[in-house]
Amino acid sequence: MDVQWYEAYSVIDLISGKWVFWLLRALEERPLRHNELQRAVPGIGSTALGDTLRRMEEAGFVVRHVDGGQMPPAVSYEVTEAARDLFIALREVARWGRMHIPDQPNAPAKGRLSQGCPSWAVMAGSASGRTNPTRAG
């Protein structure tokens, strides 16, 4: 495998975790605290959220902020510039999907975009090809 394909595989491997995509989408607009993230991504448990956030921090997708001026300390998570660059690439993948994969069996019906994970409302019509983790089938 040449280097270009290996690099692409590495990126896909990093973002293919069950919750990574949904957490990136939730954090795109502003930093959020643990409980806010748990509410923004229905179905994710506290342990899975913590483990996924640690992996995302190690991968350079999020940075963890601790405000020690409060008791207990307030911890929030924010996407990095690298994650913002990744959003550009993901939008291109979504555009490709709209062009080449017109019938998305896993995408929600357009009339139901407000249901389930809030990310669907933002990605309306994007044909991301990923199943919403809250809609186990």
From first to last of its 137 residues, what are the pLDDT tens digits of the chain? 677 888 888 888 888 889 999 999 999 999 999 999 999 999 999 999 999 999 999 999 999 999 888 888 899 999 999 999 999 999 998 888 888 887 766 665 543 333 444 444 343 333 333 334 443 33
The first and second tokens of residue 54, run together, are 């640690």
Can you tell me the distance from the alpha carbon of 120 to that of 123, in angstroms, rounded to the nearest whole number? Answer: 5
User: What local confidence, expressed as pLDDT, does residue 86 receive?
Assistant: 94
User: What is the Cα–Cα distance from 124 to 119, expressed in whole angstroms?
Assistant: 9
pLDDT for 37: 97
CA distance 135 to 137: 6
77 DSSP 8-state letter: E
> Number of H helices and number of E strands within the chain?
6, 3
pLDDT of residue 25: 93
Domains of the chain by range and CATH? 3-122 (1.10.10.10)
| CB-based contact 121:113 (threshold 8 Å) | yes
In a 3-state reduction of DSSP, which class is residue 32? Answer: strand
The 8-class DSSP code of residue 42 comes to T
Q: Contact, 37 vs 22, CB < 8 A?
A: no
pTM of the shown model: 0.69
List Cβ neighbours of 104 (8 Å cut-off, separation of 6 or more): 97, 127, 129
- For the beta carbon of residue 50, count every other beta carbon within 10 angstroms: 14
The pLDDT value given to residue 80: 97
